[in-house]
Amino acid sequence: MAKISKRLKELLQKIDSNKEYNVKEAIDTVKNLKSAKFDETVEIALKLNVDPRHADQMVRGSVVLPAGTGKKVRVAVIAKDAKADEAKNAGADIVGSDDLVEEIQKGNMNFDVLIATPNLMGLVGKVGRILGPKGLMPNPKTGTVTMDVAQAVNNAKSGQVNFRVDKQGNIHAGLGKVSFSKEQLWDNVSTFIKAINKHKPAAAKGRYIKNAALSLTMSPSVKLEVQELLDMK
């Protein structure tokens, strides 16, 4: 059996493992669990009652967090001509077309988000096998395949979070930093949960969110009161 560190023991003593916390209580609790020397990320984990092996039960989308993520996001855009200029003016870090695809083929991916115009998705397809496993493939469902590249760049820079259910029905996301105010974290968590609820598949039966937890990068998790989450619309 793995030995529990002194730090973890101290943190576990601050949590009631038998309790489901409402969101505001959970935020208060995780802010009190800060133990790292860096600004830890506040993370949410959800278990959904869906079977993503069926296309009609896939949960995937994006949402812009009102308080942002606290992370500097590097945005690359594959576009040409006027759309390339639009992306540059919006603050994209890297803009290109064939040249950018060549860099990706070489393994040079100095970006966190990749946006592309629909007419260049054939070009993007050449590097799909490289982008896909890294979660960087542009997709209309996350707003990263669009002609409105300026809006897509703004969203990415201002706190857009993409989410996708895994094979076991889990979703994980970073929703800000422990240094954020309680109000900022509440706004981010509630906005994220509302987006998850809006993406509930029609084919999903029963209790949509089975369980949920909030934690920091280096902390144990705090169970969330599921009914409160289900009521967020």
Instruction: Give per-residue pLDDT as tens, 167-177.
Output: 999 999 999 99
Q: How confident is the model at residue 164 (pLDDT cuts 50, 70, 90)?
A: very high
Spell out the alpha helix ranges (H) of 48-205: 81-89, 98-105, 121-124, 128-131, 149-157, 182-198
pLDDT in tens, 61-115: 999 999 999 999 999 999 999 999 999 999 999 999 999 999 999 999 999 999 9
pLDDT in tens, 25-45: 999 999 999 999 999 999 999
Mean pLDDT computed over every residue of the chain: 95
Identify the CA nearest to 48 among candidates 222, 220, 199: 199
- For residue 9, what pLDDT is reported? 86
- For residue 113, what pLDDT is reported? 96
Domains of the chain plus CATH, in order, are 18-68+160-231 (3.30.190.20), 75-158 (3.40.50.790)
Average pLDDT of the segment spanning 183-206: 96
DSSP string, 64-76: E-TT--SS---EE
Element (H, E) at 63: strand 60-64
- For residue 1, what pLDDT is reported? 43
- For residue 2, what pLDDT is reported? 54
Looking up tokens 């916390």 gives 21
The HSE-up count of residue 119 (CA atoms within 13 Å, CB side) is 9
Distances (CA, A) of 146 to 21, 73, 87, 156: 39, 19, 11, 13
